[in-house]
Amino acid sequence: MQANVNGMNLTYADDGKGPALVFVHGFPLNRAVWQKQIEYFRVTHRIIAPDLRGFGESEAGSGAVSMAQFAEDVHALLEQLGTGRVVLVGHSMGGYVALSFARQFSPMLRGLVLVATRSAGDSPEAAAGRRETAGKVKAEGTKVIFDAMAPKMIAPGNPDPKLAEQVRGFMDSSKPAGVIGALLGMAERSDATPILGNIKVPTLVVTGTEDVLIPPVESEKLAKGIPGAVLKLIPGAGHLVAFEQPIAFNSVLNDWLNGLKSKA
Smaller CB separation from ligand MLT, 37 or 92: 92
Q: Which is nearer to ligand MLT, 49 or 257 (CB)?
A: 49
Q: Cβ 229 to ligand MLT, closest distance in Å?
A: 20
Q: What are the CA-CA distances from residue 110 to residues 101, 198, 201, 252 (Å)? A: 12, 14, 6, 18
Torsion sign (Cα): 205, 173, 71, 62: positive
Interaction between residue 93 and ligand MLT (CB under 6 A) = yes
| 213 binding ligand MLT? (CB under 6 A) | yes
Q: Are 226 and 196 in contact (CB under 8 A)?
A: yes
Rounded to whole angstroms, the Cα distance separating 2 from 217 reads 37
Nearest-approach distance from CB 157 to ligand MLT, in angstroms: 19
Contact 227, 102 (CB under 8 A): no
Q: Is 64 in the site for ligand MLT (CB under 6 A)?
A: no
* Minimum distance, C-beta of residue 26 to ligand MLT, in the bound complex (Å): 3
CA angle 240, 118, 189 (to 5 degrees): 115
Please name the amino acid found at residue 41. F
CB of 186 to ligand MLT, least distance (A): 6
Closer to ligand MLT by CB, 69 or 92: give it. Answer: 92
Q: Is 127 in the site for ligand MLT (CB under 6 A)?
A: no
Q: Which residues pair with 8 in a beta bridge?
A: 5
Interface with ligand MLT, residue 150, by CB under 6 A: no
Applying CB under 6 A, which of residues 12, 23, 27, 101 lies at the interface with ligand MLT?
A: 27
Q: According to the binding rule CB under 6 A, does residue 55 interact with ligand MLT?
A: no
The reply to whether 98 sits near ligand MLT by the rule CB under 6 A is: no
Nearer to ligand MLT, 59 or 218 (CB): 218
Residue with Cβ nearer ligand MLT (93 or 108): 93
200, containing H or E segment? none
Q: Which of 188, 151, 164 is nearest to 69 (CA)?
A: 188
Residue closer to ligand MLT (CB basis): 11 or 174: 174
Do residues 97 and 90 lie in contact, with contact meaning Cβ atoms separated by under 8 Å? Answer: yes
Residue 186 binds to ligand MLT (criterion: CB under 6 A): yes
Nearer to ligand MLT, 145 or 257 (CB): 145
- Tell me: does residue 26 bind ligand MLT (CB under 6 A): yes
Helix or strand holding residue 73 (H, E): helix 67-81
CA end-to-end span of the chain: 30
SS3 238: coil
Which residues contact ligand MLT (rule: CB under 6 A)?
A: 26-27, 92-93, 186, 213
